Amino acid sequence: MTKNAKVLKAGLGYTIGNYMLKGISFISIPIYTRLLSTSDYGRFNNFLTYEGIFFVFVGFAIHSSYKSARYKYKLVSENAVPGKDYYSYASATILFVLICTLAWLILFNIFEIQLSRLLGLDRFSINLLVVYSASMALITCFNTDVGIDYEYRKFLLVSGFNAIGTVIISVLLLITAFSGKRYMGMIIGASVPSILAAIYIIFYFFKRARPNNLWDFLKWGIVYSLPIVPHGLSQVVLNQFDRIMITKMVSVAATGVYSFAYNIYSILAVTFNSLDNVWSPWFYEQMRAKKFHEIKKISSIYILLMFIFSSGVILISPEIVFILGEKNYWVAKYTAIPVVAGGFFAFMYTVPAAVEYYHAKTVWIAIGTTAAAIINILLNYIFIPKIGYIAAAYATLVTYILYFCFHFFIAKKIQGLNLFSTKVILSCSVGILVISLITRMLINIMWIRWSIALLITVCSILYEENKYGYIVSKIIELLNRRENK
């Protein structure tokens, strides 16, 4: 199998597999919204927000160093010294996460009373929060590691166990032991499969290589990853902190409705997170080979495809809300539009940010995300009391637009040239805003919105084939390969 074929197969594997996993979650959403009140759903999502924060502190974003470490330390099979190779480095980082977890558990129990007042959680929930956060950090390390060599099957195995286990355990707890405290049933249901998966991951890394050379490895890895910590925290602010603000400034029920709208955005997130597992390693390879023309060509197709998909999700989002949610959640159709539009610009940021990661200029990642987080908090603080919780969705959209612009210009400065098509980026950015406006204006006229979605898909494919001719050529190539077998 050629390298390009392997990349394409991995991209399809990640995307299709993730959609199957997301399909499991989507099947469960109508069940959750009928078993959980908007208040319970809001409390559960606040717990997930806290997990997003402590995930960064427990793992110190050490997974972000893996791609660069893979090429810095190499493998034993590539003549690396045993004990100083990439696998040993990865195991050392897993041990580091475990040490951090123990330290945080001790610290949290010392200050348990203060944390209970601040977070509104009891001692059991606080300890579960730390262990769950550590589990998610370990799972992220595993996913990053297997993604480097396009091993999507291993990724899907762990992710599938986590997704299916979460649904089964959560539903069982909601209808049995926690029928009177259902948000707690959701918290435990989400935590247990992740913890079990994390135990498997620890054995996986340690079996592959012992965590040797700990000090030297971590000295480099922590210096590389540390600037990503404020970036990770700021990402939580951008993605989830608005839910805490809505709880404090509006109500926990409003947080439940707002959080439900993010289920629509997750359709988009699954796609670009899946493709990023392939895009990032491929981008690194092209950068090392200095194939800048190829980067510009493929990134344009990548952006165009995500624009088509994002536009389609926005245009049909009202119907998705009606299908997934119980009647109390239907008002989320207004929030879903800016949330998904913001998600498109969140994807767009990952394209130029790859330049910063490649050149190990992670301090710019931290600066950009921290600035964006501050802007987001200020916008929420000003407009949520005036407009209501929907203001948080529009604040996130504005913030992500600024966020992308910052990284686009920084990437150009670092590289010394623009690796990406300004024309494609500008056209798709304006297009997604226009689509959002049209959807809001025609929110109760389904047939027009669906017709526009179909028209955009057809026109975009025709444009791509006329400009690049990539999609059809790849399909023909795959069909010919199958015939020749």
Name residue, tokens 């590389």. 224
Q: At what angle do helices 66-73 and 86-110 cross, to 10 degrees?
A: 140
Residue 8 confidence (pLDDT): 52
Residue 377 confidence (pLDDT): 87
Give the CA distances from residue 394 to residues 253, 265, 308, 402, in Å, rounded to whole numbers and listed in that order.
19, 14, 21, 13
Name the residue among 408, 281, 270, 222 with its Cα closest to residue 6.
281
Strand ranges, E, within 18-85: none
Contacts of 124 (CB under 8 A, 6+ apart): none
- Give the pair of three-digit tokens for residue 96: 């580091």
Mean pLDDT by groups of 10 residues along the chain of 485 residues: 52 54 62 73 78 82 82 77 84 92 90 79 84 90 80 75 82 77 82 91 90 82 79 69 77 77 76 73 81 84 87 87 75 86 88 82 76 86 86 89 89 84 90 92 86 81 65 58 54
Strand ranges, E, within 259-374: none
Contacts of 460 (CB under 8 A, 6+ apart): 304, 307, 308
Prediction pTM value: 0.67
Helix, strand, coil content of the chain in percent (nearest 5)? 85, 0, 15
Residue 21 confidence (pLDDT): 55
Max distance between CA atoms of the chain, in angstroms, equals 68
Q: Please report how many Cα atoms fall inside a 13 Å half-sphere around the Cα of residue 377, on the Cβ side.
A: 13
Residue 295 confidence (pLDDT): 84
Residue 25 confidence (pLDDT): 62
Cα(43)–Cα(271) distance, rounded to whole angstroms? Answer: 27
Residue 102 confidence (pLDDT): 93
Residue 14 near residue 275, CB atoms below 8 Å: yes
